C-alpha cells in the first residue's frame, strides 16, 4: 500500500507525539481530556479491517498501550477507544482518558462543549510520561 498523508483536519486539531514506520501518534489539543490519536500510515484506508492483518494487530497493540499508559499517568476512571471516522475518513483511533468529573461524563466527548486548546507552547502534563513509556516499549 502507498504511504498516506495526514488528513488536514487531524493535522489542524492535533500535535505530534512521535511516529513509527507504520503509524503516527498525535495528541488532541483539548485540555479537557488526555486524548491520543493513532493513525496508520496507509493511503486510502478508512476501516480497520482494510489493513493487512499484521497492521491490524500493530494498531490494536498501540491503542492498547496508549490506553494503559494514559490510565496510569492520569488516574482516569475509564479509557474510551474508538474509530468513528464520520468527519475524517482516514482511519484513526481515538484513545481518551475519562474521569467521572470531566466535562462530558458519562456521555461521549464528540460534539460536546467547546474544545479548550492548550496555551501556545504548553504541553499536556501527561505527554512526557507517555513518550517515555512508549520509547521504553519500542527499545
Q: Supply the pLDDT for residue 4.
A: 79
Q: Supply the pLDDT for residue 139.
A: 40
CA dihedral 138, 83, 77, 71 (to 10 degrees): 10
Kindly indicate the confidence band of residue 86, based on its pLDDT and cuts at 50, 70 and 90. Answer: confident
Each residue of 59-78: pLDDT tens digit?
999 999 999 999 999 999 99
Over residues 80-96, mean pLDDT: 94
The rounded Cα 8 to chain-centroid distance in angstroms is 16
What average pLDDT is seen over the chain? 93
Per DSSP, the residues of 60-106 read HHHHHHHHHHHHHHHT-SEEEEE---SS--S--EEEEEE-TTSTTTT
User: Global pTM?
Assistant: 0.93
Is pLDDT of 129 > 60? Answer: yes
Three cell numbers, residue 60: 490494536
In the chain the domains, ranked by start, together with CATH numbers, are: 8-107+116-138 (3.30.428.10)
Kindly indicate the confidence band of residue 2, based on its pLDDT and cuts at 50, 70 and 90. Answer: low
Amino acid at each position: 500500500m502507498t504511504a498516506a498523508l495526514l488528513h488536514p483536519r487531524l493535522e489542524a486539531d492535533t500535535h505530534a507525539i512521535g511516529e513509527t514506520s507504520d503509524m503516527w501518534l498525535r495528541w488532541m489539543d483539548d485540555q479537557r481530556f488526555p486524548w491520543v490519536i493513532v493513525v496508520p500510515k496507509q493511503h486510502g484506508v478508512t476501516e480497520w479491517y482494510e489493513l493487512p492483518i499484521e497492521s491490524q494487530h500493530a494498531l490494536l497493540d498501540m491503542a492498547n498501550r496508549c490506553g494503559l499508559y494514559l490510565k496510569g499517568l492520569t488516574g482516569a476512571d475509564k479509557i474510551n477507544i474508538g474509530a468513528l471516522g464520520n468527519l475524517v475518513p482516514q482511519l484513526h483511533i481515538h484513545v481518551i482518558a475519562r474521569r467521572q468529573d470531566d466535562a462530558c461524563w458519562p456521555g461521549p466527548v464528540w460534539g460536546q462543549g467547546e474544545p479548550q486548546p492548550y496555551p501556545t507552547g504548553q504541553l499536556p502534563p501527561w505527554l512526557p510520561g507517555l513518550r517515555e513509556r512508549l520509547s521504553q516499549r519500542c527499545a
